[in-house]
Amino acid sequence: MPLGWYLAQGLYPLGPSSSDDEEGPCELPDGRIVCGPHGLVTCGKCCTDYSFADLNSKEVDGFAKCDTDDENPRINEQELLRLRKKRGTGQVFPTQFTPPTGSSIMPTELFPSKEISATVTRYIHRNDTGAVLVFTDGACLNNGKPDPKAGWAFVQGPGRADKPALISARLEIKGPWGDESIQSSNRAELRAVIAALRYQNWPGEGFRTITIATDSEYVVEGSTKWAKTWVTNNWKTSVGADVKNKDLWEMLMGEAEKWKDQGLSIQFWRIPREWNEVADEAAKKAASEFEDIDGWTDYLARR
């Protein structure tokens, strides 16, 4: 449609269309992101969901949700597409990372610290500059008991001055599709992985593979093996029960599908708990000290 039509509706096109709706996302005068044809944040007709953008630039516990330019907090179209929530269909599954045969090498030995810019460091494979490693963990106080409180964390690099580059937060009360969920360690473990995958534009930094280092058997086995059976069995276990945390499993598979389209593959490396102390401590702190978060929240790296 012509620009005048958008302006008459109080809409500001964000750029050339690349979403399912022909006109692409638009921005309202109050900063909200909506679909172009209908002006809706969540539009079933266009199959778009820009609700996460409403959280743009809100401060929580010392860092920003959707952390962008402080003076002009905007999410560009590429980020909008990357952060669209997608239910995975089982087309793509992560794979399991296998360290060198017969080796007990630690992750930071195989993926040593490397500076990729004046302000950014990453854990990058010593023999493959296209492979990056991230540590994730989740924790839940009173897990399985009254008043549980869960938190998650991921370490995306060694950071500066011996201060790891980590992000942590409370587990939301509602899942990605708006359903209320429980606070549990398994959900927190999954949430940490999803947050890490959505935080950065990893291919934009030149990476073709991201390896998630976690001590969670639930995450590693579930994403690389069990989920294949769950999808085939219509999300039922071997005894006919509903698969727990289906919403997060679907979200994780959706991330795998989206990243594959961008040329990025996801691997999981199950590591001993003692190798994951930084992420573990941060997840426990988030569970114990951070306030409740009701709805799904995305966290973006600063551009």
Residue 52 pLDDT greater than 60, yes or no: no
Rounded to whole angstroms, the maximal C-alpha distance in the chain is 67
252 closest CA partner among 287, 281, 212:
212
Position with higher pLDDT, 176 vs 70 = 176
Do the bridges between strand 209-214 and strand 265-270 make them parallel or antiparallel, or are there none, so unpaired?
parallel
- Residue 5 reports pLDDT greater than 50: no
Confidence check: pLDDT of 49 > 60: no
Least confident of 12-21, 34-43, 193-202: 12-21
- Separation between Cα atoms, residue 130 and residue 101, nearest integer Å: 21
Q: Where are the beta strands (DSSP E) in the chain?
A: 12-13, 25-27, 33-35, 42-43, 48-49, 59-60, 63-64, 95-96, 113-115, 121-125, 128-141, 149-160, 163-170, 209-214, 265-270
Residue 64 has pLDDT above 50, yes or no: no
Higher model confidence: residue 4 or residue 140?
Answer: 140
Structure tokens of 302? 């600063």
Over the chain, what is the mean pLDDT?
82
Average pLDDT over residues 155-167: 88
Fold of 95-289: Nucleotidyltransferase; domain 5 (3.30.420)
Q: Which of 138, 264, 129 is nearest to 200 (CA)?
A: 264
1 sits in which H/E element: none
pLDDT-derived band at 25, boundaries 50, 70, 90: low
- Residue 217 neighbours by CB distance under 10 Å: 10
The span from the CA of 115 to the CA of 123, in Å, is: 9
Domain ranges of the chain: 3-82, 95-289
pTM for the structure as a whole = 0.78
Predicted local distance difference test score (pLDDT) of residue 8: 47
> What pLDDT digit, counting tens, does each position of 168-191 carry?
999 999 999 999 999 999 999 999
Task: Tell me the pLDDT tens digit for each residue of 240-280.
Answer: 999 999 999 999 999 999 999 999 999 999 999 999 999 99
In the predicted structure, residue 210 carries a pLDDT above the cut 70: yes
Residues 138 and 183 sit within 8 Å (Cβ to Cβ)? no
Q: Which residues of 36-51 are buried (b: 16+ CB within 10 A; e: fewer)?
A: bbeebbebeebebbbb
